[in-house]
Structure 1
Amino acid sequence: MLKILVTYAVQGEFVEIKWPDVEPYYIRTGIGKVKSAFHLAEAIRQVQPDLVLNIGSAGTVNHQVGDIFVCRKFIDRDMQKMKEFGLECEIDSSALLEEKGYCTHWTEDGICNTGDGFLTELTHVSGDVVDMEAYAQAFVCRSKEIPFISVKYVTDIIGQNSVKHWEDKLADARQGLSHYFNVLKERI
């Protein structure tokens, strides 16, 4: 039985996973990189999962509300500003996922840009989607050699009343992600 630790930031993003031969565990990490990393590390210690699957909502600059992205590449936009000092700001979790044979048929590839601020103003951001947790979780998983993948539902367009749209679209995100996992993807 494959143990999957499913992470989500807020209760409105919770989606039950119903795959055969999978034992899912769920952890609400809270919003932000620090909380997310802490709660994930504690859950990993207790569960010892084979895979960590982060699910949730995200903003975007270049895509549409309702789009879903499977992220294996992550950027820390806060640390990106310090790149010239040699600080790491990008993680690619593809290799370990491929090595284990997990999620290879999930093809809606995107790059997730993570930071501690909720972006409300239109600005240049690298990547397809913007969140506040995924990079930190990818960092924890890489350090523990656990495969990590993040699936994000676009709830808002940055610069277009993002906070209000995010709140209004959480139910849509939950429904869209539930359909994605339990109808379209049926298996890991």
Structure 2
Amino acid sequence: MAPPRGDASAAAEEAMLAQLEKRPVCTILIIIAMQTEALPVVNKFQLVEDPNTVFPEGVPWVRYHGVYKDLNINLIWPGKDPSLGVDSVGTVSASLVTYASIQALQPDLIINAGTAGGFKAKGACIGDVFLASEVAFHDRRIPIPVFDLYGVGLRQALSTPSLVKDLNLKVGKLSTGDSLDMSPQDEATIIANDATVKDMEGAAVAYVADLLKVPAIFVKAVTDLVDGDKPTADEFLQNLATVTAALNETVSQVVNFVNGKCLSEL
């Protein structure tokens, strides 16, 4: 007797993932929300902008691509908002661009890189770069049983013990919301999430990556201390350039470490 359709589908998916873990990573998708954060990585790997977009007509999303060692690298920046001309930050753009990029490019691994706020109470300092162990939302409050868990949307990042050890990276939990500031309600959920860093895209990328079964890691550099004594916006802008350089260096190290390795070796 043939197994139920659902069981057969799950078995095929597990077999596919097992096969992926045994072959070297070939195609990397790097998702970065801000142009200031993206361009140093573009320049580092000598990526070029794709004039023939793989995305739907009219969207502002930008793809940079190139070959580095044994890797096909695709860096996707969501572009500027067509009406206001600012970077298309936040969970909506991140979700859409992650979904479209996976569909078009079929990556073996996603790297979501960017700046983030850090919590000094959890040991974060300006300029620290963290690899997220897990990601969750802090601004999707649905106080109904089970829906509350859906709102938090806790997901594990790809486990990369060798990468963490080799690069001596700090590891912490990442919490995501669509506001730069932090309301008392957000703060309570962030504490419940046991987060060391907070951003505006990570958990959205993780949701889509999990949905489409693409492993993802999250590299976040601290521009501001959320529980510090300086206004968040001022501190973010003051440190953005310096911290972006640290982010670029770490992303470069991560890419070099991934080259030639399969997922199980990370």
State if a TM-score over 0.5 links the two structures: yes
Of residues 49-58 and 102-111 in structure 1, the stretch that sits farther from structure 2 once superposed is 102-111
Does the 8 Å CA contact 2:176/2:199 hold for their aligned counterparts? Answer: yes
Give the number of the structure whose residues are more often helix, by fraction. 2
Q: Work out whether 1:23 is the aligned partner of 2:72.
A: yes
Q: Distance in 1 between matches of 2:231 and 2:31?
A: 26
Give the number of the structure whose residues are more often strand, by fraction. 1
Q: Distance in 1 between matches of 2:244 and 2:182?
A: 22
For the pair shown, the structure with the greater C-alpha radius of gyration is 2
Equivalent in 181, 186, 195 of residue 119 of structure 1: 181
Write the letter of the residue equivalent to 1:146: V
Write the letter of the residue equivalent to 1:26: L
Equivalent in 106, 120, 137 of residue 76 of structure 1: 137
Question: Equivalent pairs: percent with the same residue?
Answer: 25
- Structure 1 length normalisation: TM-score? 0.86
Does the 8 Å CA contact 1:93/1:149 hold for their aligned counterparts? Answer: no
- Structure with higher RCO (Cα < 8 A, 6+ apart): 1
Question: Shift of the alpha carbon at 1:144?
Answer: 0.2
Of residues 145-154 and 115-124 in structure 1, the stretch that sits farther from structure 2 once superposed is 115-124
Write the letter of the residue equivalent to 1:6: I
Question: Shift of the alpha carbon at 1:131?
Answer: 0.4
Alignment of 1:101-140 (within 5 A): 104-106=162-164, 107-119=169-181, 123-124=187-188, 125-126=190-191, 127-140=195-208
Question: Shift of the alpha carbon at 1:90?
Answer: 3.5
**CA RMSD, 1 decimal:** 2.3
- Structure 2 length normalisation: TM-score? 0.62
Tell me which residue corresponds to 1:161.
Answer: 231
Q: Distance in 2 between matches of 1:46 and 1:20?
A: 22
Alignment of 1:1-188 (within 5 A): 2-14=26-38, 15-16=41-42, 18=45, 20-29=69-78, 30-62=88-120, 63-79=124-140, 81-82=141-142, 84-87=144-147, 88=150, 89-94=152-157, 97-98=158-159, 104-106=162-164, 107-119=169-181, 123-124=187-188, 125-126=190-191, 127-158=195-226, 160-183=230-253, 186-188=256-258
Write the letter of the residue equivalent to 1:115: G
